[in-house]
Structure 1
Amino acid sequence: MKQDSGAANVPACFISTHEGFLGSIKNLIKDFVVTEIDISGQCVNTETQPPACASSHKYNDTSAKRWENKHSVSQDDDDDADYGADVTIPSPCSFDLSVILGQAVSEELEQFVLTLKDENTTKQELSLGYFSDKHHRANVHRAVRHRFPFLMTVTIQPEIRVREDPDYRELSQLVTEDEAEDFFRFIDAKVRGSSYTFGPDDNKEHRTTVHHFLSRRFGKLVEAKSFNDQGTTAITVRLREQGRPKKRTTEDRKEEEVYTAFTLCKENLETLEAISYMAAALGVLPSDFTYAGIKDKRAITYQSMVVKKVSPQRLKEKAAEFEKRGMRLSQIISVGEPLRLGRLQGNHFDLVVRDLRAHGASDTHSPGANTHTRLAALIKEAVENVKARGFVNYYGPQRFGAVQSVQSDCVGLALLKEDMVGAVRLFFTPEEGGDDPQSQAKRHFLQTGNAKECLALMPLSKARERLMLRALNRYGTGPDGCAQAWLSLPHSTRVFYPHAYCSRVWNEAVAHRLTTLGHSVRRGDLVWFQQGQKKLEDTGETSSPQIHVVTDQEEQEGVYTLGQVLLPMPGNTVKYPENSMGSWFQERLASDGLGDCRFRVGSLKLNLPGCYRPLLACPRNLRYNRRNDGQRNGTPVEGKEDSLTLTLNFDLDSSCYATICLREIMKCDP
């Protein structure tokens, strides 16, 4: 059964033939609640034990010895170093100068800064006014230095004056202005245990000059060392701790062995966005956080996380600050190891579908009492069908960025073709008609190619964009510079885009398989190997030794069911079906210029082995309930007298999408 689909890259091919119904989801954030189910089968928002961690993923002592052994302290085992990352910068929301100083003084300060740069002098000063309250003075000092790292703030009680910092001017002659600004923010933040890494610098004489400056001007506050990582050398600066010797002690190393597990509840935030904020506030790297899976943005989600180098007490101290940003932390406890991606059984969903109506009904027409019976029948038939038969296991629209002008799979295709410049331009394509700061910054980059100016326009919250712009500013916008820009992102972020492309191909493949070969198992299909069958813990999908090719006899005898059929995600280790689907994959990849693709991008350290994904998925513990939204606390709601709402509760395996399950139930894009 086919039907037009508005969902990006998700074909409208269904497994059941019921009529379905119309409705809307995510009207409210609380309408979509996702709760991770850990490896022991417990929902993490009720489980009081620490998350189940992979016993084979013990702490690697190499990371604790990086400083002594001269391995880059800013690089995780799986992620590349984020040179110049804003890991120590406090929340910019706390530093609104127009609020702290008043609009007039704030504008005067902005003009003063322009005058300083134009006249190239250090002699000018500006009075910001008189502040009798010491807490107010402290806020002024922090806010001005955060916004303008090159300024000094001087208190002549109760007056505060500003002038250019001569140390900043000297450092900006040795490194880029962006690095100088970030270094001064790092110094000002003084986050315990934090470090800052300058950009790669293979000129030993220049590094020596930088070391001498740092030692002369900041030697009592920081220590600096050069580290070599994969042939590239850079200077890393670490804050000293008062009363401790320069050489790191056993206690220092033990701090890096600390792992703290917690449950994160977030609202209307991407998982990576939440991690970026927490990392900045705690003074650690985003790669110091491990998690089992990415969760929806427009939802309330509960998931397990582990952060290293942060004690439970320190995390608890930051909980109130995180809550202001839509993140609630609970079940904070010490553990011995990190989490592993995919180390979960699945997710539990609590969904609300509002404004129910039959297909063909007007969007503004609420069902009357005489249609409630028909709607109830439609809902029951739909839910029972999906409970019994499952749904086509498509990757959901959020895999591709459904609302973006250029979706993630297009960027992934460019990366697989090693078109680094094209991939960067696609990444920085703004939303059509978008006038928000992010879109304006992207548009400016495409028009001018000026990464530095674009960086100044890009919101601080856009961590990925800012990392890439820093690299583009440092290395240029040619092929090599664009490759460095991609390398500035963590490995998990880089590989997301090629995976999105492979997911699009998989979605098209399953629709073609059902359309051309039907709902029966056919010769040449790939299925689970029945004897000794098991799933990989990290993906929920099989490895190639467990794959069996269906024979003619097995097709005729009906040995296998459609729920056992697998389709491969393109990669360099997978087996393709030995029927018409095998040639379809070859032709499909060739049409995108990937006929000879090895699914490796050496310059970006990406390798895509591929995997196998079941054609169907099935919800577990599926329950539903209808209610009339026309009454709230016994009072009729105007315009909603006969509006019906459906609540759904069910569990899905990891990597399965609730929106796709709901799509099969409703026979439309909800």
Structure 2
Amino acid sequence: METDFGLTEYASAHTITPVPCLLKEMYSDFIVQEILADGTVLHIPSPDVILESTGTKKKEIEIDATVEKPSCISEETLAALDERFSAKGDQVLVKVENLTKDERKSIHQFIRERYSGKLITETKDDGIYVSNGHTQTTRKRKNWDENIPKECHFTMCKENKETTFACQLIAKFLNVGPNNIKTHGIKDKRGVTAQRVSVTQVLESTVLDLNSKLRGIRVFGCEYKHEPVKTGAHWGNRFSIVLRELANDSEPLLHERLETFQNTGFVNYFGTQRFGSRSSTTAEIGLAIVKREWERAVKMIMSNAMPGHLEYGLVGHAARCFNQTGDAKKAFGKLRGAQAFATIEGHILKCLSRGGTWQKCITEAIPVQSRSLYVHAYQSLLWNKVASRRVKEIGTRVHESDVGADGTPLGEHATHYDIHIPLPGENEAFANTYGAKWISEILEEDGLTQASFTSLQDKFSLGESSRSLFVEAKDLKWKFIHYSQPRTLLQDGLQTRAVPESEQKGPLLALQIQFSLVSGSYATVALREVTGSDMGKKSMRNASLKSQEEESDKVKEEVKEEEEESAESEERQEEEVAASSE
């Protein structure tokens, strides 16, 4: 499958003998810790740690009678406000006829301070309306302390959750729009990951209280800042990965390859997870978007959600309903809870059910981080193909035609890690390089040009303009582990504990490998350089199923042998009884 996406070459050799293994057999086999720009590696809390404010009750808010009442508020109005503070009900109208701007302002301030923000004010033509909690028109307006920076940054750890889904779930609980949640980038779903997240105008205590509501997600380490988290602004990621079911005689070969890997690095391909594993790849959807084929793009996304791809969940049934009937409103009605507001399919069906166009589904309804992934995937596919051509023709040595990150020729002391290839799109600095030329040739086959990406900048975050051809895995460590059962836990997860080292023994062999990669590089591609195997999701899933079938066959064989031994034992007992009775 990886060859379909341009992953054909290796930094160490043109061909490499595969070493079969299993990746991500358990969620805790794949741990990702974001590394911030200052080098800080985010930690993942122990399963035993209880995070701050988890499940705590909110402090009771009381009326602050010390706040001085403006003379323009009558005692009757004050009594009505106190009553509204105690219980929800109809809005209280504070008349402001003939009042100055400063007097009206003093009313807002008094209500905010006396009732600690619990009562919400809204100015209308006939006065100031006061309610207990937000109304439909005041929900998006917030009073924020000017002395506190508006962005609340926090660490989000998740297990077996897509980053986009987790962020949209958090947005829903915080009652903010999904675009108010910012991250440095997407982290793997099947694994345990830690990353920084920011949200606008939400208090630390409100964020921490999410720990009592979320499952498979933990939040902590809040800090107020003036700027939100920005895509790609981190240094990279620290990986701790377990490869299972290695052949017992593979240890010497893998040890040798790891030493080579430490010196040569690997081809910096975009991994197969970039392209998905469903009937329409994200690159194919991205191509449709770049060609402005909006309807086709939407229908490919919805077809990917059909039963068979999402194990017949409600999203799959909703997608099937839409594809069969074309009735978006009816299909949207089949979704429940997070499936309606935290899935791409839910966003599309909601948009269409409200009369939105095919284009609006792509360019507005789907959150920017999600919709950008499709265009990125198409760019990534082209980059992979160009990278493979360069490595196949020249190898790892620096050639006179190679350029660096700024598009200028490399100096005499440059290494293969300094070589850069542009991504598709208009880029003056790389206009005369072999990379730009080869990309243009592929684009022409698809009926496009480099300029086809330019007008997408407003609605899509297209990111980097070039990418290094080779990457070094830093702070590389590895060790081999013996274990007894196929699903023995070998690393701590978000909610699970690994077996103690003293119990790591048995006939099965695994490799634990740890390394740090710069932002945008793929751990599965790095592992490919070591194992020589396709480390993509589809390939690993097939290998896992094969392993389970073999294990099942082994168990069946053992049961059969036990039954045969039991039958033989019974026959012997019957013979002994018969002999003793003669």
Report the TM-score when normalising by structure 1.
0.60
> Which residue, out of 247, 254, 258, partners 1:379?
254
Q: Which residue in 2 is equivalent to 1:471?
A: 351
Q: Which residue in 2 is equivalent to 1:286?
A: 178
Q: Does the alignment pair 1:423 with 2:286?
A: no
In 2, Cα distance between equivalents of 1:596 and 1:349: 35
Off by >6 Å, runs of 4+ in structure 1: 192-195, 221-224, 631-637
Q: Which residue in 2 is equivalent to 1:261?
A: 153
Q: How does 1:88-167 map to 2 (within 5 A)?
A: none
Q: Give the C-alpha shift of residue 567 in structure 1.
A: 0.7
Number of paired residues?
A: 439
Query: Does the aligned pair in 2 maintain the 1:268–1:298 contact within 8 Å?
Result: yes
Q: How does 1:429-578 map to 2 (within 5 A)?
A: 429-430=303-304, 431=306, 433-434=308-309, 435-462=312-339, 463=342, 464-475=344-355, 480-484=357-361, 486-526=363-403, 528=404, 542=405, 546-549=406-409, 560-576=414-430, 578=432
Letter in 1 for 2:526: C
Q: Give the C-alpha shift of residue 313 in structure 1.
A: 1.7
Q: Give the C-alpha shift of residue 581 in structure 1.
A: 4.7
Query: Does the aligned pair in 2 maintain the 1:193–1:239 contact within 8 Å?
Result: no
Letter in 2 for 1:352: V
- Cα deviations by residue, 1:362-421 (Å, 9 ceiling, x for unpaired): xxxxx3xxx3xxx221111111111100000011122111x2221111111111101111
Change (3 A) 1:614 1:636: closer
Q: Which residue in 2 is equivalent to 1:334?
A: 224
Letter in 1 for 2:189: K
Q: Give the C-alpha shift of residue 633 in structure 1.
A: 7.2
**Unpaired runs of 5+ in structure 1?**
48-191, 196-210, 225-235, 241-247, 358-366, 529-541
- Identify the range of structure 1 (300-309 vs 334-343) with the bigger mean alpha-carbon deviation: 334-343
Q: Which residue in 1 is equivalent to 2:207?
A: 315
- Cα deviations by residue, 1:549-576 (Å, 9 ceiling, x for unpaired): 36xxx7xxx6543222111101122544
Q: Give the C-alpha shift of residue 474 in structure 1.
A: 2.0
- Cα deviations by residue, 1:601-636 (Å, 9 ceiling, x for unpaired): 469734758611010011001000012113877999
Letter in 1 for 2:354: R
Query: Does the aligned pair in 2 maintain the 1:291–1:339 contact within 8 Å?
Result: yes
Query: Does the aligned pair in 1 maintain the 2:160–2:189 contact within 8 Å?
Result: yes
In 2, Cα distance between equivalents of 1:299 and 1:525: 37
Which secondary structure state, in structure 1, belongs to the residue aligned with residue 427 of structure 2? coil
Q: Does the alignment pair 1:656 with 2:521?
A: yes
- Identify the range of structure 1 (616-625 vs 259-268) with the bigger mean alpha-carbon deviation: 259-268
Q: Does the alignment pair 1:594 with 2:448?
A: yes
Letter in 2 for 1:449: G
Q: Give the C-alpha shift of residue 287 in structure 1.
A: 2.0
In 1, Cα distance between equivalents of 2:257 and 2:431: 31
Letter in 1 for 2:227: E
Q: Give the C-alpha shift of residue 281 in structure 1.
A: 0.9
- Identify the range of structure 1 (8-17 vs 594-603) with the bigger mean alpha-carbon deviation: 594-603
Q: Does the alignment pair 1:24 with 2:27?
A: no
Q: Does the alignment pair 1:410 with 2:289?
A: no
Which secondary structure state, in structure 2, belongs to the residue aligned with residue 237 of structure 1? coil
Letter in 2 for 1:410: E
Q: How does 1:29-428 map to 2 (within 5 A)?
A: 29-45=27-43, 237-239=137-139, 251-252=143-144, 254=146, 257-322=149-214, 325-357=215-247, 367=248, 371=249, 375-401=250-276, 403-428=277-302
In 1, Cα distance between equivalents of 2:350 and 2:130: 27
Letter in 2 for 1:465: E
Q: Give the C-alpha shift of residue 219 in structure 1.
A: 8.7
In 2, Cα distance between equivalents of 1:347 and 1:636: 30
Query: Does the aligned pair in 1 maintain the 2:363–2:459 contact within 8 Å?
Result: no
Letter in 2 for 1:339: V
**Unpaired runs of 5+ in structure 2?**
46-116, 486-498, 536-582
- Cα deviations by residue, 1:124-147 (Å, 9 ceiling, x for unpaired): xxxxxxxxxxxxxxxxxxxxxxxx
Letter in 1 for 2:453: F
Query: Does the aligned pair in 1 maintain the 2:307–2:317 contact within 8 Å?
Result: no
- Cα deviations by residue, 1:412-445 (Å, 9 ceiling, x for unpaired): 1111101111111111113573433222222222
Q: Give the C-alpha shift of residue 316 in structure 1.
A: 2.2
Letter in 2 for 1:237: T
Change (3 A) 1:252 1:38: closer
Q: Give the C-alpha shift of residue 300 in structure 1.
A: 0.4
Query: Does the aligned pair in 2 maintain the 1:483–1:604 contact within 8 Å?
Result: no
Which secondary structure state, in structure 1, belongs to the residue aligned with residue 138 of structure 2? strand
Query: Does the aligned pair in 2 maintain the 1:475–1:484 contact within 8 Å?
Result: no
In 2, Cα distance between equivalents of 1:194 and 1:466: 34
Change (3 A) 1:669 1:548: same
Query: Does the aligned pair in 2 maintain the 1:348–1:652 contact within 8 Å?
Result: yes
In 2, Cα distance between equivalents of 1:450 and 1:667: 47
Which secondary structure state, in structure 1, belongs to the residue aligned with residue 354 of structure 2? helix
- Cα deviations by residue, 1:189-223 (Å, 9 ceiling, x for unpaired): xxx9999xxxxxxxxxxxxxxx99xx9xx995688
- Cα deviations by residue, 1:458-489 (Å, 9 ceiling, x for unpaired): 3543422222212212225xxx4433553122
- Cα deviations by residue, 1:99-137 (Å, 9 ceiling, x for unpaired): xxxxxxxxxxxxxxxxxxxxxxxxxxxxxxxxxxxxxxx
